[in-house]
Structure 1
Amino acid sequence: MNIKQLLLKRLAEIAESLSKTPNALALLGVGSIGIELDRMDGYSDLDFFVICKEGFKERFIEDLDWLESICSVSYKFRNTEDGYKLMFQDGVFCEFAVFEPQELKNISFSGGRIVWQSEEFNMKIGVSANLPIDKAVDIDFSIGEALTNLYVGLCRYQRGEKLSAYSFIQVYAKDRVLELITTIEKPQDIKKDVFNITRRFEYRYPNKSSILSKILVGYDNIPKSAEAILEFLDSNFSINTEMKNKILELCHI
């Protein structure tokens, strides 16, 4: 049995277990185990929501018998007040949360698949009303942030604050580069993750994302990273000459 088959089998087993557990109402698959099954591969995990009757949330969180009865659990970690990250003994990794019906309106998710629901509960799933607003990129702002992040980061680098410099250049400025790439390359027809721009970025923007190998060069190559970002900005946009020269000077001290 390959991992995809195992994931689907495990989800079906969870559904069956919940169907026999008092006060369980529904099982909702999300992510690549939800409505995006075409994305599931050998590196996917199980993301799901359990819906239970009002007043029984803690029962399903505090006692994981409804999961542990299926397969031995080798590791579990309660990462939020609503749920866990969990590894089964056979290598199936899960991230899940438990909600009561009245909480559903406040959950942010991009759609899901009803795997099981009790006869007394009629759940209709759509797109959450709490999704992040997909705002158009403010190009001038992103350029300005990138340039000033490079400048501040390089000043800290020259001061010996390499860790702070790394954050300003290979994290903050890099994130602005990602935003700017979305304005100059048409994305491929691959589903966007509205919560995280880095997900599937290389597949959505295969041409411009090649710059990342020049940007993400590590703690010991911070000036090279700054130069790569500056070159990207200068090649694709109109940037301030004085700031460009200041940044280049700091790169070559």
Structure 2
Amino acid sequence: MNSQQSLLRRLDEIGLSLARCGDAIALFGLGSAGVERERMDQWSDLDFFAIAAPGKKARLIDQLDWLSDIRPLAFQYRNTIDGHKVMFDDGVFCEFAVFELEELPAIFYSPGQMVWSAPGITLDICQPVAQPPAPRTEKWLVGEILGNLYVGLGRYARGERLSGFRLVQVDAVNRVLELTALTGPAAAPTDRFAPERRFESRFPATAVDAFMPGYTGTPQAALAILSWLENRHGVNVAMSRQIRQWADAAEARFPGELMQTTHQS
């Protein structure tokens, strides 16, 4: 297991390595490696931006010696055009992107914390200039959830059970998380990029297990989500009635699975 101390030490080592290689001008951490370090624990990884010197972005992306010189890399792959996910041989996992200074104003990111910078580079670059997209409206989210339930139940009843599962227990639940973040008071910071992050801490009174009972429980999941929605938001009566009818029909297509799901849970 990695401790907060060892993770922060590795972050500092990455900054020193970038300074030595001469092809970078800054490194700043993001998330729990940035301004939210009180969240960092043994389960954390390291998220950061490496800021390349002019014309050196491709070199830092294509050649990872500035990381492997610290410790060997046991795993790495390029997950975006701008960066990689890597794991050192001691289990420290990193997700990073490489940008040149002139690219930053067009990118939205969470505020960061400087780890290392070359002379003349100010702390301002750790603060995003670009604004996040406007949050989806309550009306849109409620409509999208109802659509996911309706279409998902139809596919499930048709025999496309994986597709139905994803629409109801993944897509609709994702919209529920967005809706909760939009309309409910949060007890902990929200991740602008992933509303499921720290959901249990942010909304301890909201139980979502009934929304995701498993592969054979899609009709029951749909009814649970619908009931939750009806108790908190205005729901179209015709859609509510149709979803309940389709949930009954989908359950009838696969008799006995509600009992099986209940026993397994």
2:195 and 2:112 map into 1 onto residues whose CA distance is 20
Q: 1:236 to 1:52 in 2, by over 3 A?
A: closer
State yes or no: 1:35 paired with 2:31. Answer: no
Q: 1:139 to 1:19 in 2, by over 3 A?
A: closer
2:195 and 2:3 map into 1 onto residues whose CA distance is 26
Q: Secondary structure at the match of 2:79?
A: coil
1:193 to 188, 191, 213: 191
Letter in 1 for 2:195: I
| 2:181 and 2:195 in contact (8 A); partners too | no
How do 1:2-41 and structure 2 match up within 5 A?
2-41=2-41
| 2:2 and 2:43 in contact (8 A); partners too | no
| 1:150 and 1:168 in contact (8 A); partners too | yes
Q: 1:23 to 1:236 in 2, by over 3 A?
A: closer
What is aligned with 1:234?
Answer: 230
Structure 1 residue 126, shift from structure 2 partner: 4.6
Structure 1 residue 195, shift from structure 2 partner: 1.5
1:123 and 1:239 map into 2 onto residues whose CA distance is 47
Letter in 1 for 2:70: I
| 2:29 and 2:115 in contact (8 A); partners too | yes
What is aligned with 1:45?
Answer: 45
| 1:145 and 1:173 in contact (8 A); partners too | yes
| 1:132 and 1:195 in contact (8 A); partners too | no
| 1:113 and 1:125 in contact (8 A); partners too | no
2:202 to 201, 204, 217: 204
Q: 1:41 to 1:104 in 2, by over 3 A?
A: same
Q: 1:16 to 1:187 in 2, by over 3 A?
A: same
What is aligned with 2:179?
Answer: 180
2:74 and 2:233 map into 1 onto residues whose CA distance is 51
Structure 1 residue 228, shift from structure 2 partner: 0.5
Structure 1 residue 183, shift from structure 2 partner: 5.3
Letter in 1 for 2:71: C
What is aligned with 1:159?
Answer: 158
Query: Could you give the per-residue CA deviations for residues 121-164 of structure 1, whole angstroms, max 9, x where no partner exists?
Result: 345235312242343x5333322222232122111111111122
* RMSD (Å) for aligned C-alpha atoms: 1.9
Structure 1 residue 31, shift from structure 2 partner: 1.2
Q: 1:2 to 1:43 in 2, by over 3 A?
A: closer
What is aligned with 2:219?
Answer: 223
Q: Secondary structure at the match of 1:79?
A: strand
Deviates more, 1:51-60 or 1:87-96: 51-60
TM-score between both structures, scaled by the size of structure 1: 0.90
Deviates more, 1:57-66 or 1:78-87: 57-66
| 1:49 and 1:96 in contact (8 A); partners too | yes
Structure 1 residue 94, shift from structure 2 partner: 0.7
Q: 1:71 to 1:59 in 2, by over 3 A?
A: same
Q: Secondary structure at the match of 1:178?
A: helix
What is aligned with 1:97?
Answer: 97
2:120 and 2:140 map into 1 onto residues whose CA distance is 51
Q: 1:202 to 1:20 in 2, by over 3 A?
A: same
Letter in 1 for 2:227: E
Letter in 2 for 1:207: A
1:45 and 1:19 map into 2 onto residues whose CA distance is 22
State yes or no: 1:244 paired with 2:243. Answer: no
Q: Secondary structure at the match of 1:132?
A: coil
- Structure 1: segments with no counterpart, 5+ residues: none
Q: 1:226 to 1:51 in 2, by over 3 A?
A: same
| 1:27 and 1:50 in contact (8 A); partners too | yes
Q: Secondary structure at the match of 2:147?
A: helix
What is aligned with 1:118?
Answer: 118
Letter in 2 for 1:51: I
